């Protein structure tokens, strides 16, 4: 696995030898497929622009020697999108979020895959053999967000002094690691927690309604691309239900939410 700072450099290294020099084939265009778990193209563009600019600084410029094929979708269509990305054969594929990584892993392709996954343990998920020697065709950045779940509960407890019952907004497509870690932390913090599920942005409002039946006095939103996409809706619902909510995306506080990490 590579570190976060080396992510773009690793992508560039996987594309080819350095661009400068006589060995660089004239007119060669490198093709990168991108599989993104999420349906909001504006959120995607905001995250993707920095990636494109960093590759440009490394000498890979879209429209000159670099071409992207981007596919956005939710869990129900990711498998077909993964298959579509492999035609025509790209030089590598960037898979964003656990569902996208799962779709590429299930495709059993030999195309190099660079993952950006904030929710998974790649070894426990079966994506790689070990962190130092992943084997196969997958490498990338895996952030240990599950263990941060306890910190989010601590922050919310400091913010809401009477905090006792906490709803956990959870996307099952991200796997159980975050939820399990939050439950362990809640036991130490002496908080009662209960999950409510949302698998798409349209399910966020029904999840809030379901949570209110449990009489929570706080909510922690676990990480998922659909919750980043739905930040504005979460801000609206937090205000409507007067439910102090922590969301681990910086843009949430800028949108008017109570607490973001």
Per-residue pLDDT tens digits for 179-229: 999 999 999 999 999 999 998 889 999 999 999 999 999 999 998 888 888
How far apart, in Å, are the Cα atoms of 146 and each of 57, 152, 158, 169?
33, 10, 20, 14
Q: At the top level of CATH, which class does the domain 146-260 belong to?
A: alpha beta
- Name the CATH code of domain 7-143 (choices 1.10.10.60, 3.40.50.2300, 3.40.1050.10, 3.40.50.620): 3.40.50.2300
pLDDT tens sequence across 119-162: 777 887 888 888 788 888 988 887 766 678 888 999 999 999 89
Beta strands in 97-229 (DSSP E): 113-117, 138-142, 165-170, 192-197, 218-221
Q: Give percent of the chain above pLDDT 90.
A: 36
pLDDT at 131: 78
pLDDT at 254: 78
pLDDT at 39: 63
Largest CA distance in the chain: 68
Domain extents in the chain? 7-143, 146-260
Task: Read off the tokens for 201.
Answer: 């942005």
pLDDT at 4: 40
> Stretch 5-32: mean pLDDT, rounded?
55
Q: Which residues contact 116 (CB under 8 A, 6 or more apart)?
A: 7, 94, 95, 96, 97, 140, 141
Fold matches, 7-143 and 146-260? yes
Residue 178: is its pLDDT beyond 90?
A: no
């Amino acid at each position: 696995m590579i570190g976060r700072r080396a992510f773009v450099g690793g992508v560039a290294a996987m594309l080819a030898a350095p661009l400068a020099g006589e060995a660089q084939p004239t007119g060669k265009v490198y093709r990168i497929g991108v599989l993104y778990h999420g349906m909001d193209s504006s959120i995607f563009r905001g995250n993707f622009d920095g990636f494109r600019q960093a590759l440009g600084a490394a000498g890979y410029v879209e429209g000159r020697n670099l071409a992207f094929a981007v596919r956005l979708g939710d869990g129900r269509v990711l498998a077909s999108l993964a298959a579509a990305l492999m035609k025509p054969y790209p030089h590598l594929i960037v898979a964003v979020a656990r569902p996208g990584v799962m779709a590429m892993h299930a495709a059993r392709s030999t195309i190099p895959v660079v993952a950006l996954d904030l929710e998974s343990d790649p070894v426990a998920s079966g994506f790689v053999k070990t962190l130092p020697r992943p084997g196969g065709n997958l490498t990338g950045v895996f952030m240990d967000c599950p263990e941060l779940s306890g910190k989010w509960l601590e922050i919310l407890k400091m913010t809401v002094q009477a905090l006792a019952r906490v709803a956990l907004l959870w996307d099952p497509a991200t796997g159980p690691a975050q939820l399990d870690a939050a439950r362990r932390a809640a036991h130490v913090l002496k908080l009662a927690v209960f999950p409510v599920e949302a698998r798409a942005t349209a399910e966020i409002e029904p999840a809030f309604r379901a949570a209110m039946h449990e009489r929570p006095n706080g909510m922690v939103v676990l990480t998922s691309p659909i919750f980043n996409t739905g930040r504005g809706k979460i801000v609206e619902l937090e205000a409507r239900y007067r439910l102090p909510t922590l969301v681990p995306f910086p843009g949430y506080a800028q949108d008017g939410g109570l607490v973001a990490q």
